[in-house]
Amino acid sequence: MSGPQAGAGRLPDAYLAAGSSSFADFLGTTAPELLPAHRSLPAGSAADLAPHGTTIVAATFPGGVVMAGDRRATMGNVIAQRDIQKVFPTDEFSCAGIAGTAGLAVEMVRLFQTELEHYEKIEGSTLSVDGKANRLATLIRGNLGMAMQGLAVVPLFAGWDERAGIGRIFSYDVTGGRYEETAFHAVGSGSLFARGSLKKLYREDLDEDGCVTALVQALYDAADDDSATGGPDLARRIFPVVHVITAAGGRRLSEAEVAEVADRVVAGRMQRPDGPAASLS
Amino acid sequence: MSTPFYVSPEQLMKDRADFARKGVTRGRPLVALQYADGVLLASENPSQALHKISELYDRIAFAAVGRYNEFENLRIAGVRLADMRGYAYDRRDVTGQGLAGAYAQTLGTIFSSAGEKPYEVELFVAEIGDEASDDKIFRLTYEGMVADEHGFAVMGGNAESVGRYLKEQYAAGGDLAAAVRVAVAALGQSEGETRVIPADDLEVAVLDRTRVQPRKFRRISTGTLRELLGDRGTETPDGDRPEDGEAAGVSMPSSVDRPEDPTDLVSGGTPPLEDPLTGEPPIAPPPEPGQ
């Protein structure tokens, strides 16, 4: 921790100065080396240097929003990790799932978590969902230089909007573009297959349990066709991370709860490998 | 050029200490006390928006009395320091002791620096551990002294009466309801009278070990507070205090001259200081009332 010192031992002036309630801004003035955006890379592609996270899916239901992520991280053709966590609570009423360069993405989520908590403590109130989504966009925009060298981070953000009383989902592009999604969305290498699956499975009147099942089905379909997405690992009992947010707050479903859903989905696929059939009309 | 008066260092420090202490004791008292599940902080604070008690980090809380702008400054510095340390290292590496140390250094430097006005504040930094025996309450005074308090601690105005009451009534290891009741009853004590503080005027928060979230700080709402306090008889709100006006951003010059108070804005009947060379008062004395 560096900074101009006004007196021996006392807190540096930057700590006592009136200023922004943003932690990232504070970090930029006192310890810019800790900000992901302030790093410069040598020329060339760095895309194959670090593991990549893959598929994240999210969907809303009346009364909340659910996000789920598979557990695989890949480096080229190698499975770098089988049980990586890619969906994180960012505060009590929001969560973020990450696809792209895992190390940078996890760092960005940590910064974003601190950013939200910092604002809440300093201002004594929480940011609106749109405010949170915009802050995340700013962090991603700062990463553009690295994205152009192959170290892209593309999160999916979901939160409970207390004022409107609905769950909301936001997706991003590497330039920090922020897009609100309706009903459901998916990001990452398996997202095409997951989105196709959700198109057929999603209903607006799903309850929490049904919504979780639809997302686990979608991840199964993504893993079915995308080599970088991991399906339920029955031998090791590794199942997706599922985070549910309602008006009462957010919680990560326990291993046992997700295992129960995943076992049901896998049992169904034993009968019909392509999953539940949607009606033709 | 006139020669400045010689003031001995002892006198200088004593004056600064008197000045700061006066600022601190002018406000209402604040108590911190340990109970079975953590630490309770309580004060009378009619303002709903401007807090005296707040969260610093997962298991660490901040409470202050004195001048609002000064302790708010320190609170924000503490939040920044805690978040910075937690981000650069790990959440577990943020400790109450580290924060108390940083506050002590800052307050101490400001107090002894001739160019700055001493801060008129007193702080508590409370931290809870996994067991009640790991809970800590640090008390920081305006000159940067740190004390480690056990059981309960009081600061601000009427601290003596409140402390005396707690000494008699406080029992270690009580539950939340018992802790709230004894703390609120203690806050109502002042020289020669006992007052029932309205629940609306109380600011109460806890660091609660039993919370499942990693962030253990929780404000107790007025509704919950009423349930915990039960029937206490007729509530008597306190009169206006200078800190209320200050907290609301309104300056309220007291209309009475108090020669012992260096911050009052009325000079009343006390003549202003004479110029040491000419013997003339620097400005004309105010006209006598009624003339």
What does the domain layout of chain B look like in residue ranges?
28-228
ipTM of the complex: 0.88
- How far is the C-alpha of B17 from the C-alpha of B65, rounded, in Å? 16
Q: What is the DSSP letter of B78?
A: H
Mean pLDDT of A227-253: 94
pLDDT at A3: 40
Strand A73-75 and strand B136-140: the pairing is unpaired
C-alpha distance from residue B276 to each of B1, B8, B130, B176, B279 (Å): 12, 18, 63, 60, 6
CB of A125 less than 8 A from some CB of B = no
Confidence of residue B247 (pLDDT cuts 50, 70, 90): very low
- Do the Cβ atoms of B110 and A10 come within 8 Å? yes
- How far is the C-alpha of B179 from the C-alpha of B224, rounded, in Å? 14
Tokens encoding B210: 């039993």
- Do the Cβ atoms of B77 and A11 come within 8 Å? yes
Task: Indicate the fold that domain B28-228 takes in CATH.
Answer: Glutamine Phosphoribosylpyrophosphate, subunit 1, domain 1 (3.60.20)
Mean pLDDT of B22-38: 92
Q: What is the gyration radius of the CA atoms in chain A, in angstroms?
A: 20
Model confidence pLDDT, tens digit, residues B208-242: 999 988 899 999 999 999 999 988 888 888 876 66
SS3 category, B213 = coil
Let me know: does A181 contact A60? Beta carbons within 8 Å: no
pLDDT at A4: 42
CB of B84 less than 8 A from some CB of A = yes
Model confidence pLDDT, tens digit, residues A249-269: 999 999 999 999 999 999 999
Closest CA to B153 of B125, B130, B181, B177: B125
SS3 category, A150 = coil
- Do the Cβ atoms of A9 and B105 come within 8 Å? yes
Give pTM, 2 decimals: 0.85
Model confidence pLDDT, tens digit, residues A195-209: 999 999 999 999 999
Q: What is the gyration radius of the CA atoms in chain B, in angstroms?
A: 21
Of chain B, the percentage scoring pLDDT greater than 90 comes to 60
Residues 150-189 in B contacting A (C-alpha not used; CB under 8 Å) = none
Tokens encoding A180: 């609100």
Mean pLDDT of A106-117: 94
Residue A117 has pLDDT above 50, yes or no: yes
Mean pLDDT of B18-40: 92
Q: In angstroms, how far is the first alpha carbon of chain A from the final one?
A: 63
CB of B80 less than 8 A from some CB of A = yes
Mean pLDDT of B254-268: 57
- How far is the C-alpha of A105 from the C-alpha of A56, rounded, in Å? 13
Mutate to test the interface with B, among A15, A91, A108 (most CBs of B within 10 A): A15
Residue B269 has pLDDT above 60, yes or no: no
Of chain B, the percentage scoring pLDDT greater than 70 comes to 82
- How far is the C-alpha of B100 from the C-alpha of B106, rounded, in Å? 10
- Do the Cβ atoms of B56 and A30 come within 8 Å? no
- How far is the C-alpha of A68 from the C-alpha of A89, rounded, in Å? 12
- How far is the C-alpha of A41 from the C-alpha of B262, rounded, in Å? 59
| Candidate from A65-79, A222-236, B152-166, B243-257 with smallest mean pLDDT | B243-257
Give B-chain residues touching A30 at CB under 8 angstroms: 84
- How far is the C-alpha of B41 from the C-alpha of B218, rounded, in Å? 10
Residue A162 has pLDDT above 60, yes or no: yes
Q: Which long-range contacts (CB under 8 A, 24 or more apart) does B10-13 make?
A: B12/B114, B13/B112
Residue A119 has pLDDT above 50, yes or no: yes
| Candidate from A22-31, A114-123, A143-152, A217-226 with smallest mean pLDDT | A143-152
Mean pLDDT of B154-174: 92
Q: List the beta bridge partners of residue B207.
A: B39, B217
